[in-house]
Structure 1
């Protein structure tokens, strides 16, 4: 049971978010990322074949869809979105899926998925979208380099990420909508890559999505880092056979978020409960270094090295449980 001071702190956090939201929406209404038009993508169907030829065909179709979305963004006058999409459509980029509508959804492969023995599915948190995609991809590239030729990183931006400061970022509505899509992707990867080790890397709000998708997942490991909580009280509540890891950088502001769940009248259940690095949650805790909330995939960092070790099936340096 959360004590009263923590409940008061969480209510203040929510009220601040609501005030920010109320001010920001009127100011930025016409520029909302979800308002940028894009054509419907080509229907590709589920991933069934990871041969090099089949993947290249799929990547080519998605590249054409990205270019079409870029032309629509340019015609709409959104030069930032158009520039981001041009970069995403560059030769050599590998998208399994892309849909530019409603803010955008995408699944990109970094590395060679065909024949990969270690696959990390990167699930981002709040404040990530097509307009800010470059930073997410840079982290994926850094991770894939750590993994080497036998490793691939699948960057899953399969949901409308909430703004970092917004009511949606402190409730699990977006996570509930996103979890079935993530689960479908992981199930397909498990089916088409039966010999590969699969790991879910869940950053920030992404850990709430992973918790929703965890039950019965074929993933070998689930890693929660920079997490505000998962909505679950402990690891057993996730109902997963995957090995569950948790980590938080020493400079991550998420440590100051109250780890409680409070029912707010006329709003929703706010907050995500137990801190995943707390002993009572029951995860194995790894050393995530001293970086901030956006530094977990920074080249040369302890957090990146340990995430790569977990993906590879090795023990991370500095694990405490």
Structure 2
């Protein structure tokens, strides 16, 4: 676990759960992503970076790029650990409760879905998934987070979202019938959601800061 900002005092806290093949030797990329997210959210809060903490959480056995990625086993095995982590953030926080967002990318969204579906859920104010192959559930209302605060971002050419959602990991969360909210994305591919200057990144920052994401720029 690595944090940008202080999660014990931040008004807005986000937990980024990465996906397939994310190991410690690739952690530099995760640090870059949480740095960008903290900056994108901080631009929308009075205290800038001091108001925001973004954490990369890797305390689960992310699947390798093999058949394990098509099963729910790794997500279900780590679900309680993620619930314990977010509940710990709540307990350790000083002052008024933080606005908590959980972000899942790729299989990390499956991990977040399994955690929020079980037990008492994640206790998140918002859950955001990008490039998701499924959240282990059939409908948004089977999660603890309110469907109005479940956000789904998917690039038009994201092969994981397009080709694997709705198969073995739950129904496709970007479909209207699922009941989630779509977040506008202007980036390409499965890993472009954090591109500098993109609306994809800006909208993630808005959600972390407790604001509604925006549509295409005019």
Same fold (TM over 0.5): yes
Counterpart for residue 135 of structure 2: 230
Q: What SS is found at the alignment partner of 2:152?
A: strand
* TM-superposition CA deviations, 1:202-239 (whole Å, max 9, x none): 11101111111114332100111100111210101124
1:272 paired with 2:169, answer: yes
Counterpart for residue 202 of structure 1: 104
1:125 paired with 2:37, answer: no
CA contact (8 A) 2:127 2:151 kept: yes
Give the drift of 1:249: 1.4
Say which one has the larger Rg.
1
* TM-superposition CA deviations, 1:124-159 (whole Å, max 9, x none): 010111011111111111111112221010110111
Counterpart for residue 15 of structure 1: none
TM-score normalised to structure 2 length: 0.87
1:162 paired with 2:63, answer: yes
CA contact (8 A) 1:139 1:298 kept: no
Counterpart for residue 252 of structure 1: 158
CA RMSD of aligned residues (A): 1.6
CA contact (8 A) 1:190 1:219 kept: no
> In structure 2, do the counterparts of structure 1 residues 278 and 140 end up closer, same or farther at CA, with 3 Å as the change threshold?
same
1:312 paired with 2:209, answer: yes
1:173 paired with 2:73, answer: yes
Q: What SS is found at the alignment partner of 1:305?
A: helix
1:138 paired with 2:32, answer: yes
Q: What SS is found at the alignment partner of 1:198?
A: strand
TM-score normalised to structure 1 length: 0.60
> In structure 2, do the counterparts of structure 1 residues 317 and 251 end up closer, same or farther at CA, with 3 Å as the change threshold?
same
Equivalent-residue separation in structure 1 for 2:127 and 2:161 (angstroms): 20
Task: Name stretches of at least 5 consecutive residues in structure 1 with no aligned partner.
Answer: 1-106, 262-270
Q: What SS is found at the alignment partner of 1:153?
A: strand
CA contact (8 A) 1:245 1:283 kept: yes
Query: Looking at both structures, which has the greater relative contact order when contacts are Cα pairs under 8 Å and sequence separation is at least 6?
Result: 2
